[in-house]
């Protein structure tokens, strides 16, 4: 791949290096059709992860990036892939089912979100993105693979292995491998499958690897070292996601009064669009039943709901036809919706990282948002770890004008 922005790469990051200055997409020498698509989507300035990673990834460096979901890393790796393909057209089409790039994601929702972002960015380029995920019609996915050459294949590990075993997909010509949310892959037990998949791609010296994770503990770091060559490691601190654009409130509430508190908040303050997070899927269903009995239109997004229904629910929420979504952490992982005014933590999550992920569903794209967490005697013991993670004290208060 040519190095259109090689001169943009600083030799070292000193205190005087301009790494924190805003980077315009037009400064990155992207293909004209890609610039048009970026402008069509309403973007001019790179997010921090984009501005820091693109000068390296566009120059064919491997990148390991630490960034939360919702910080713009999807566009960062897709822009890299589409620029590579545009600048290096193939002399002849590859066999069917043989992608030029592979993007691995831990959940169906995230994979399908990546596919949607890819379609938006490649709208003026003759490139195809195909998504294969579990819980969907495998015959239709095979038909999509057989319609023509595939530039970007987005997949969840289990379903991709199904296609590899059927010999419907070959990874032998992959030029770029993207592993998204590696820590979540590890948590969900997917790493043996991911390792099996990676071994079917060309050697790491013969491909570019972009590796993203919200955290880089020892286990994730070992994976990154195994699958990349001298990567540029970029860290976007999660605190910036958690605190910059989100007004965080912690409301004291009795454990048995949570449902009534949530109902009063919705009916009295009328949040424009809200996601309510619960820790377990059975809790999401109880909340939906309770709110519906009290004439609040809402729907659940949980792992035990059929995929077709989950997608329909998510689409209604994205389109604004559904105002209130009750979700678990796993199901909510792929929710990238602009205009979410409120996030409500019906219960505090046990993992502080999940808290940051949850509240990152609001305050996106420079907009402001509000996160409200219900705190009772049942989950107050989670507060010290959350305070340490956020690096700030948490003050619990009485609810704002909610009886």
Residue 165 lies in a domain: yes
Residue 164 lies in a domain: yes
Round to whole Å and give the CA distance between 184 and 180: 9
pLDDT at 333: 60
Overall domain count for the chain: 2
225 and 308 both lie in a single domain: no
pLDDT at 21: 64
At 11, list the tokens: 């030799």
pLDDT at 311: 78
Whether the Cβ atoms of residue 301 and residue 284 lie closer than 8 Å to each other? yes
190 and 248 both lie in a single domain: no
Residue 200 lies in a domain: yes
The residue among 176, 202, 236 that closes a domain is: 236
Look up the domain containing 255 and give its range: 240-397
201 and 264 both lie in a single domain: no
29 phi, psi to nearest 5 deg = 55, 45
pLDDT at 5: 34
**Spatial CB neighbours of 39, under 8 Å, sequence gap ≥ 6:** none
245 and 208 both lie in a single domain: no
Instruction: Say how many residues make up the chain.
Output: 403
Q: How many other β-carbons are positioned within 10 Å of the β-carbon of residue 270?
A: 9
Residue 1 lies in a domain: no
Round to whole Å and give the CA distance between 395 and 16: 36
Whether the Cβ atoms of residue 309 and residue 242 lie closer than 8 Å to each other? no
Round to whole Å and give the CA distance between 170 and 164: 7
pLDDT at 12: 35
Round to whole Å and give the CA distance between 147 and 129: 11
For 138-187, how does the pLDDT look when each residue is reduced to its tens digit (9 = 90+)? Answer: 999 999 999 999 999 999 999 999 999 999 999 999 999 999 999 889 88
231 and 245 both lie in a single domain: no
Residue 403 lies in a domain: no
75 and 190 both lie in a single domain: yes
Q: Cα dist. 396→135, 222, 342 in Å?
A: 41, 39, 18
The residue among 190, 215, 236 that closes a domain is: 236
pLDDT at 338: 78
Round to whole Å and give the CA distance between 314 and 335: 8
pLDDT at 16: 35
Residue 153: strand pairing partners: 102, 130
| H runs (alpha helix) in 166-294 | 182-187, 191-198, 218-227, 238-243, 258-269, 281-293
The residue among 236, 263, 287 that closes a domain is: 236
188 and 73 both lie in a single domain: yes
Sites in the chain below the pLDDT cut of 50: 1-19, 239-241, 403
Residue 380 lies in a domain: yes
Residue 201: strand pairing partners: none
Whether the Cβ atoms of residue 154 and residue 111 lie closer than 8 Å to each other? yes
Q: Is the dihedral of CA 104, 108, 112, 117 positive or negative?
A: negative
**What's the order of all strands across the beta sheet hosting 176-179?**
129-132, 152-155, 101-104, 176-179, 208-213, 63-66, 232-235
Residue 28 lies in a domain: yes
| Nearest Cα residue to 121 out of 39, 23, 18 | 39
At 163, list the tokens: 């296609």
Residue 351 lies in a domain: yes
174 and 300 both lie in a single domain: no
165 and 20 both lie in a single domain: yes
**Spatial CB neighbours of 177, under 8 Å, sequence gap ≥ 6:** 101, 102, 104, 198, 201, 207, 208, 209, 210, 227
102 and 65 both lie in a single domain: yes
Whether the Cβ atoms of residue 176 and residue 152 lie closer than 8 Å to each other? no
220 and 71 both lie in a single domain: yes
CATH classification at residue 338: 3.40.50.300
pLDDT at 354: 83
Residue 371: strand pairing partners: 248, 343
296 and 217 both lie in a single domain: no
């Amino acid at each position: 791949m040519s190095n259109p922005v090689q001169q943009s790469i600083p030799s070292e990051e000193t205190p005087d290096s301009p790494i924190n200055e805003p980077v315009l997409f037009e400064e990155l020498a992207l293909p004209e059709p890609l610039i048009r698509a970026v402008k069509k989507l309403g973007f001019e300035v790179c997010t921090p992860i984009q501005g820091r990673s693109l000068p390296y990834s566009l120059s064919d460096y491997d990148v390991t990036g630490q960034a939360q979901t919702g910080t713009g890393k999807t566009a960062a790796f897709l822009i890299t892939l589409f620029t590579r393909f545009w600048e290096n057209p193939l002399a002849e089409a590859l066999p069917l089912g043989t992608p030029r790039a592979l993007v691995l994601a831990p959940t169906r929702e995230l994979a399908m979100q990546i596919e949607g972002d890819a379609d938006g960015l490649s709208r003026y380029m003759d490139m195809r993105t195909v998504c294969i995920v579990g819980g969907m019609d495998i015959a239709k996915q095979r038909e999509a693979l057989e319609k023509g050459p595939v530039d970007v294949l987005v997949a969840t590990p289990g379903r991709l292995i199904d296609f590899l075993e059927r010999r419907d997909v070959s990874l032998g010509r992959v030029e770029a491998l993207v592993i998204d949310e590696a820590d979540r892959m590890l948590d969900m037990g997917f790493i043996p499958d991911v390792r099996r998949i990676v071994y079917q791609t060309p050697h790491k010296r013969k491909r570019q690897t972009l590796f993203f994770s919200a955290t880089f503990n020892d286990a994730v770091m070992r994976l990154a070292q195994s699958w990349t060559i001298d990567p540029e490691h970029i860290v976007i601190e999660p605190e910036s996601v958690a605190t910059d654009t989100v007004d965080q409130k912690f409301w004291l509430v009795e454990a048995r009064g949570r449902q009534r508190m949530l109902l009063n908040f919705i009916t009295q303050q009328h949040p424009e669009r809200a996601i309510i997070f619960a820790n377990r899927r059975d809790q999401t269903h109880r909340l939906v039943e309770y709110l519906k009995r009290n004439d609040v239109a809402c729907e659940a997004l949980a792992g035990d709901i059929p995929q077709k229904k989950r997608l329909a629910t998510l689409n209604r929420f994205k389109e604004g036809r559904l105002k209130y979504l009750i979700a678990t952490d796993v199901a909510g992982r792929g929710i990238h919706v602009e205009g979410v005014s409120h996030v409500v933590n019906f219960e505090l999550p046990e993992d502080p990282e999940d808290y940051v992920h949850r509240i990152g569903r609001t305050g996106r794209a420079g907009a402001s948002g509000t996160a409200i967490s219900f705190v009772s005697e049942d989950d107050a013991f989670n507060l010290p770890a959350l305070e340490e993670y956020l690096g700030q004290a948490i003050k619990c208060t009485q609810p704002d004008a909610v009886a």
